[in-house]
Structure formats: structure tokens, C-alpha cells
Structure 1
Amino acid sequence: MTRDQSEARAIIVLDIGKTNVKLALIDAAGNQLTERRRANTVLRDGPYPHHDTEGIWNWMLDTIRDFAATTPVRAIVPVTHGATAALVDDAGLVLPVLDYEFEPPAAQREDYIAQRPAYDTTYSPSLPAGLNLGRQLAWLAWAYPADFARTKHILMYPQYWAWRLSGVAAGEVTSLGCHTDLWQPSRQQYSQLVERMGWNPLMPPLRNAWDALGPLRPDLIERTGLPADCQVVCGIHDSNASLLRHLDAKGSHAAPPAVLSTGTWVIAALPGGPLDDLREASDMLANCSALGQPVPCIRFMGGREFGALAGTDAAPCSVADLQQIIDQDSYALPAFAEAGGPFAGRTGSVVGPALPTDAERTALATLYCVLMSDWCLTALGSAGDIVIEGSFTNNPHFAPLLAALRRGQQVTVTDDASGTTCGGWMLAHWGTAPSTRSHTAEPIALQGWPQYRERWLAQLL
């Protein structure tokens, strides 16, 4: 088979978000042929809340077999949420994969804080629960010393799946640089915590996110029906996958857009922006791009907060519903999720007249997520173009509302409700730009909307 014939085959992206797991089959031109989803269930049996890795594994292999029966596949690319790692030996997991929303004992937290590096070396803010991956690892080593001692590799979550598929252990900077306390983005090296804890020997060789680690394991070829030359790509952290299409070959941009990657988390990133203005107290951080550069970021748990306000089965809302919320001075004040964000520690509240209809509650949730996104963009110093990716692109009011607040900044919306899928495709076709379709959001004409924002901001003081 020639190289051209190989690259004409489809790829599979394994996209593990905090809420859902998705497998997408994408052709050589970047068109999604089909996808399947399942819930990303956290199991409560065993020693602590942990991810259902075996459930995902068996579902994934069965789904891949179905995909392979429809079209030739040349590569599998894992993309996952951050703040998650797997401890493995040659036989597999030595401990279940800890859910980052689990809160280790307070006594361990005090000891860990004394060990963690300074913020201005890692740009990793001190976060609740296990959102600092270093804290998870330190707690596992403290609580389960015999199991931890069996560890051969500490694998970031995308690379855990790549290892299970290929048998090759690798490290990669986007997951290492995702508020883990393990990485120094400016120096592109491990932090002092890794040395202090004696974890250097457990960190596998660093590879590029787009590197092919090798072919699928022979037993998996038989089980899935994939071709023997199907390659497993190293993989990437999900919000960095969304960022990929906005980086040029040198990892910079002439006038870098701010990128809003939306889903369970809403992450505002400013490629090429300065690090000096990052504030730990506001949950601001420097992620690390696939090309190794630090990227100023700020985030909040927007998808979960939207669900808390609107309900899990949110009803559609109209422009009239939005106007009604503004006119009657109803406000949602942060925060409605406990897992970090610039207003972590504050209890969310709804003030103003009651909201009797589902549509009004959706309208309030939409206004809240726009105002929080606007706040985050201002905190980052965003002054240029803004690109919105991810699940909020399905909300017809989100981008126009944001555009009405960010006058002088062009707000565009991608055609891809999952920028992670596009990023995964790019890793398998490294050096090839995707055919990107987007549209410019026209500012929505709501009376009193900027003034509503000012009243909302005043209530945050």
C-alpha cells in the first residue's frame, strides 16, 4: 500500500470528556462519518471513586469492530479530559484511576501544600479535590504505599489508552501541563515536585502528541478487525486538541484569537498571551500547547453550571425569554459548581423575581454562562478575535450575546460542536490544515444587555 493510499483511510478519535465518552469515525478529508457515545460513569465500589476503565475499554473495542466493518482505518487517536492519570505495571493498573472530584483527607492536603512548587514556576493554581494531579498522586502514594510501589509508569490519561492499545508507554506535555503541579511550562521540564517525590523514574519518555507510538497490539487486531498496520497516536488533552487549529506551524499567531473551548468546562485560552498577569486566586493558569508553549488560560465549569440552572433537559428559550430576564432583573450569581473557577468557594444564588417556566430558566443559564465567559476573557486581557468551539455552539444565543458585549472584537463560531474531534484528526494528519467552516456571530439586539452586565458585576463585589 502506498503512503497516499494509507492516508486516504479513516481514523478513529477516542474522546473521553468528564461527562461522556465518544468514538468518532472520521474520513481522510476530516468529515465525521459516524459517532457513538456512552456516559463516563464514575464507579463508587472499590477503595475510592474511580473511572470505569474496563467498561470504556470493552465498549470501545466493540464499537471499533463495528466501525472497522464499514471502512478501512489507519489510526486511533486518544483525547481525554485532564487531571487524571493511571498507575500501571506490566500487567495493567496497580490502582483504579481516581476521579479528580474526589476530595482526599484534609490532613494530607496540608502536607501536600508544603510540598507543591510555587505558582510562578508551574502557573498551576491550588485547586480543590484532585484537580491538581500531583495531589492525587501524593495521596495514592500515602494511602496505598504497597500498590504505589509496584508502579512502573505514571501515565497521563490519553497516554494510558494509547498504552493499552499499543503497549508503548509515553508522556506528553499537554496533560502534564494541565494544572498538575508536575510541569514548568516556561522551562518545558518537570517541576521540583516530581524530583521531591522521587517520581522521575516513573515518568515515561516524552513524545509529541502527534507521534505514532506503534501499531495496535496483535490481540486487539484480531478482536477489532482493524488492519495490522493501524497506528496508535500518542494523544492529547482535550482543550488543547480544540486549540490546535488556532496555532500556526511555529505555535504562535500573528494576532492570536482567544479560544473558548466549551463543554463540561468552559476554558478561555489566549495563545501567545503574557503570563505576568495570571492570578492564582482567580484560578488562572498556564496550560501547555501541543507545541510546548505556555498558554494563559482561565476556566469555569460552565456546562455543569448551565445544567444546574436550566436542568439536565433544558428547554429551548427565545430572544423574548432573554429580554424578560433582563427586564425583570433576575440574576444568577456564581458559583454553581464546586470544582474550581474564578469564584470557587462562593455559593451560587439566583436573585430577583421567580422564574416559573423552563424556558426562562434556560434563558437565565445562558445569560450566566455568557457573563462568566465575558468575565474570563476580560481577565485574560483578550482584545482580538474570539473563537467559540464545543457544545455551546449548539446554543443559538450564546455567541450573539457575547458578541454584543465584546464590541470591536470579532466573535466566530466553528462548525464543529466538538473541537476535540478536529484536533484528534489533525494529530493523525500532522502538517495538514483541516477544512474549517465557521461563521461570524452578529451581536444580538437586546435592550439593556450591557447595563445588565454592569449590574451583575456590581453584585460580585
Structure 2
Amino acid sequence: MMPIPVIAVFDVGKTNKKLFLLDEDYNIVFEKSARFIETVDEDGDVCENLETLRSSVHDSLHEIYRMPQFDIRAINFSSYGASLVYVNEEGEPLAPLYNYLKAYPQQVKKQFYDTYGAPEQIAAETASPVLDSLNSGMQLYRIKYQKTDLFSQVKYALHLPQYLSSLVSGQAYSDITSIGCHTQLWDFVQNDYHSWVKEEHLRKKLAPIFPSNQALAMILNGKNCAVGIGLHDSSAALIPYLISFAEPFILLSTGTWCISLNPFNQQPLTAEELSSDCLSYMQYQGKPVKASRVFSGNEHEQQVKRISAWFGQSPAHYRTMPYQAEVIAALKEKYAPATTGTDSTGLITSGFAARDLAGFANDVEAYHQLILDLVDLQYSSTQLVLKGTQVKDIYVDGGFGKNEIFMNLLAQKFPDIQVWAASVAQATAVGTALAIHKSWNYKDLPNNLIQLKRYKALTHPVNI
């Protein structure tokens, strides 16, 4: 039996680290998943265990190359953004993989904006809300002024997807989807690195840019293999939709973050949008994608723990809870909409955390109210990128797309737009593979990547 030609995709999330093998029709023919125990940096702040991650990539490659049923034609990578790996001349890490939620020193922040202009101005030019360590360019700036010995040893500051790629290729590159994800590095007006990057002489610490839709020709395990340089995960998840749909749409990519991506909105970001955590991503072909986001997946996880502990239920109980319209109607009669709040990092939340669980008759009420509050927050966030465009469809990908309560309530919020639960088996991994399709796959692009289920206001879903 002839081995199946496949591409290996490493999809590294904050929580789950996954490896997929996809055949030429983009079917997943092998997968494995792992969770790693986090470690701490020199300040005692929790961070990714970079050594475990590095070992896992090498071990996984050895594993799949020993499988005779597969012919590894290509390898690519995707991961979360806002994370830099500082490497020396030999490509070895010099420091921990600092957490993007790490507190940012205020004196360094003041120095930056005193030198380069008002935060609002920099945010507008770089399409990046002021997010401190979530702006990875600010991480590099901090290293330069607070860790001078480390900075002097750094050959390149690589975003995480590109670091992962370098473990296989031995080559260091930068990628536009990573540079363009709220880093404050890229000037979206000038389509180049921002002037502050040049004035700080940081360009030499940033590896050359390589096209996201091309791959490096390598010999691995004695065979030809195309190795991609990696993509930011949100940009990768958008690719199957860009390939499949021509009419204007919004992709609501849900996970730890719930990100509304509108590739058909080219309007400059306003001060109001930036202050509401609106930003622009860069898609793999180098075009900006207006986006808004909320930290709802994280909030959902924390509040489900609170609800389950209060009512004595397992958190898993809520994964398949059915939508009950009569419960929602009663909650709307009983409670006013929540007042949004902020979490410990300053990110906006739905306000559910301030609700007294003792006021709910049971956990069904409490959970429905949580989703009701999260959908209210989601509506406000999605509206930021929807207005002024002719969007006809909203596709919900990821965890909340499987949540019947969330989907029914979202459809009610957008009665004039078609709301779909969009099922792409592992959209980020598929998008990461599709990005370098021409480098390894001789077949035409598939036209059946996405399965859809439409939700209508106050009605049942319809399978398409």
C-alpha cells in the first residue's frame, strides 16, 4: 500500500498543543494533543515551558516520520500571537517565553510614549490598541531598556510560530500575519515597520520577512519537504473562509478569545474602536483585516467553574446544555442587562462576575444568564467591525459555535444577518496547511471545507 501524502501542522494554543496530519483533500488522518505544565520566569510570573515545547516538536516529528503509512510532504506551524522568543546566533532561546499578560513597567511605557507620541496616535498608525505586553513590540522595547545584557545577546526576536518553524528549518524569518497582530511594530498606513522601530534600531533584531504563502525547500529524513514559516492562529483560521466564500462575511473565531474578523472592512480604525479593543490583523496575503475581540472564552471558563462549584455540578455538565427559550424570557423579565466590567488585566468582561448566584433558582438559570451576558458583550464587539459594510453572513467557528444557547441568542441579536455555526474540522490547522497549498499539494483547492448550520431568531437550527 502506497503511503498517504500529508502535511504536518503544529497548532500551538495557550492551552492545547496539537499535531495534525492532513491529506491532499485536507482531511485529518492523524492527530494528537497535549497539555504542558507551565513554568515561571525570573520574576515568578507564569509562562510557557519553552523547553518542553521545543522537545515536543522534535519528538513528534520523530514519531510521524516512523509511520510508514504517511509520506510527509510538508510541515507548517500556527500559534497564538504576542509572544516573542529571543534567540542567539545559534537559534537557541536566551530567555523564558514571557507571558503576554505579564505586567508592563509603567516607567518604560511612559518613556516610550514621551519619545514617540501619544498612545492614541501610535495605536491608530499601527492598528494596535494600547495593550502593554500584548503589544509584542513593547516587549522587545522593554527588553532593550530593562535587560540590556539579554538584549545584547539577541540575534533575533522571533514570534512563536516562526520560532517553531526555525526548530525544523534552522532558518529565522518573520511573517506578516505575526507582525500584523496588535504588535505596534507595523505601520498600516505606510505598509512598513513603524518609524519608532527604525529609530530604536530594532529592525536588525527582527528576522527578514518571508511570504506566508510560500515554503522553504528542505531535505528532511532523506526526503524533500516544504517547510512553512508559520502563521498567527487567528489569521490561519480565516483562510478556509477566504477560499470558500466571496460574499462579504464576518468570521467570529471563538476560543480563549472571541475575535470578530471582517476582511471586507478597510476603513481606518477610529479612536473609539481602538479604545474598545478593535484592531487590524494582517491576512496571509498581506491585506488588513479589521477585527474586534473580547476575552469571552476565558471568562466563560472562569464563570463556569464558579457556577458549577456553587450548584455542585461538574463543569462538563454545561458543554451540552440545551437552549431553553422560556428560561431566557424569564431572565430578561427578572434581570437588567449586565454592566460590563474589567478583569484583573484590564480586559473588558460581560459583568456576569458581579451577579449574585444566590439569586438564581438553579444552575440552568445561572448558565443561561452567563451566556446571555456574553452574547450582549459579543454583539457590541462585533458591531464595531460590522458597521459600514454589506455583510450578509456571520460564521461562528470554534467552541461557542457548538453552544446551542450562545448560537440561538446570537441569531436573535442579528435578525437581519444570517448566523451560521461553521464547522471546519480544526480551522486553524486547515488554514495553516492551505497557506502553502501550492508548495506540496498537486490537487485543486477543495470546495467542501466548511459545514454550516444556520440559526434563525426564535427558531431551530437548519442543517445546510
For the superposition of Structure 1 and Structure 2, which TM-score range results when normalised by the shorter chain? 0.7 to 0.9
Tell me the C-alpha RMSD between the 2 structures.
2.8
* Change over 3 Å in CA distance of 1:110–1:424 after alignment to 2: same
Kindly, what percent of the aligned residue pairs are identical? 25
What corresponds to 1:456 in structure 2? Answer: none
Task: Please state whether the residue corresponding to 2:372 is helix, strand or coil.
Answer: helix
Q: Is the 8 A contact 1:171 1:207 kept in 2?
A: yes
Name the CA distance, whole Å, in 2 between partners of 1:107 and 1:39: 36
Task: Report matched runs for 1:193-342 at 5 Å.
Answer: 193-215=196-218, 221=221, 228-247=223-242, 255-278=247-270, 279-311=273-305, 313-316=315-318, 317-320=321-324, 321-329=327-335, 332-335=338-341, 337-339=343-345, 341=347
Task: Please state whether the residue corresponding to 1:247 is helix, strand or coil.
Answer: helix
Task: Report matched runs for 1:39-188 at 5 Å.
Answer: 39=35, 41-47=37-43, 49=45, 50-68=47-65, 69=67, 70-91=69-90, 92-115=92-115, 118-128=122-132, 130-188=133-191
* Change over 3 Å in CA distance of 1:325–1:65 after alignment to 2: farther
Task: Please state whether the residue corresponding to 1:360 is helix, strand or coil.
Answer: helix
Q: Is the 8 A contact 2:250 2:395 kept in 1?
A: yes
Give the gaps of 5 or more residues in structure 2. Answer: 307-314, 439-443, 460-464
Q: How far off its partner does 1:314 sit? A: 4.5
Q: Is the 8 A contact 1:12 1:76 kept in 2?
A: yes
Which amino acid is 2:247 matched to?
A
What corresponds to 1:432 in structure 2? Answer: 445
Name the CA distance, whole Å, in 1 between partners of 2:375 and 2:167: 39
* Change over 3 Å in CA distance of 1:425–1:149 after alignment to 2: same
* Change over 3 Å in CA distance of 1:72–1:205 after alignment to 2: same
Task: Please state whether the residue corresponding to 1:315 is helix, strand or coil.
Answer: helix
Question: Which residue among 38, 51, 66 is the counterpart of 2:34?
Answer: 38
Indicate whether 1:372 and 2:369 are aligned. no
Name the CA distance, whole Å, in 2 between partners of 1:32 and 1:260: 23
The size of the alignment, in residue pairs, is 428
Indicate whether 1:445 and 2:458 are aligned. yes
Which amino acid is 2:109 matched to?
R
* Change over 3 Å in CA distance of 1:379–1:27 after alignment to 2: same
Q: Give CA deviations for 1:357-397 in whole Å, capped at 9, x if unaligned.
A: 44333322322222222111212235421111122222123
* Change over 3 Å in CA distance of 1:59–1:330 after alignment to 2: farther
Name the CA distance, whole Å, in 1 between partners of 2:34 and 2:411: 34
Q: Is the 8 A contact 1:166 1:214 kept in 2?
A: no
Task: Please state whether the residue corresponding to 2:64 is helix, strand or coil.
Answer: helix
Name the CA distance, whole Å, in 1 between partners of 2:354 and 2:104: 27
* Change over 3 Å in CA distance of 1:337–1:16 after alignment to 2: farther
Please give the TM-score of this superposition, normalised by the length of structure 2: 0.84
Q: How far off its partner does 1:418 sit? A: 3.2
Question: Which residue among 403, 414, 418 is the counterpart of 1:410?
Answer: 418
* Change over 3 Å in CA distance of 1:347–1:144 after alignment to 2: farther
Task: Please state whether the residue corresponding to 1:125 is helix, strand or coil.
Answer: coil
Which region of structure 1 is more displaced relative to structure 2, 64-73 or 117-126?
Answer: 64-73
* Change over 3 Å in CA distance of 1:387–1:345 after alignment to 2: closer
Give the gaps of 5 or more residues in structure 1. Answer: 222-226, 447-461
Task: Please state whether the residue corresponding to 1:23 is helix, strand or coil.
Answer: strand
Task: Please state whether the residue corresponding to 1:90 is helix, strand or coil.
Answer: coil
What corresponds to 1:363 in structure 2? Answer: 368
Which amino acid is 2:411 matched to?
A
Q: Is the 8 A contact 2:323 2:408 kept in 1?
A: no
Q: How far off its partner does 1:281 sit? A: 1.1
* Change over 3 Å in CA distance of 1:332–1:15 after alignment to 2: farther
Q: Give CA deviations for 1:296-333 in whole Å, capped at 9, x if unaligned.
A: 11101111011122228242333235455334327554
Q: Is the 8 A contact 1:122 1:183 kept in 2?
A: yes
Q: Is the 8 A contact 1:87 1:93 kept in 2?
A: yes
* Change over 3 Å in CA distance of 1:176–1:445 after alignment to 2: same
Q: Give CA deviations for 1:127-147 in whole Å, capped at 9, x if unaligned.
A: 14x101111111112221111
Q: How far off its partner does 1:254 sit? A: 5.2
Name the CA distance, whole Å, in 1 between partners of 2:330 and 2:34: 36
Which amino acid is 2:148 matched to?
P
Q: Is the 8 A contact 1:336 1:348 kept in 2?
A: no
Name the CA distance, whole Å, in 2 between partners of 1:283 and 1:330: 25
* Change over 3 Å in CA distance of 1:254–1:38 after alignment to 2: closer
Q: How far off its partner does 1:441 sit? A: 2.0
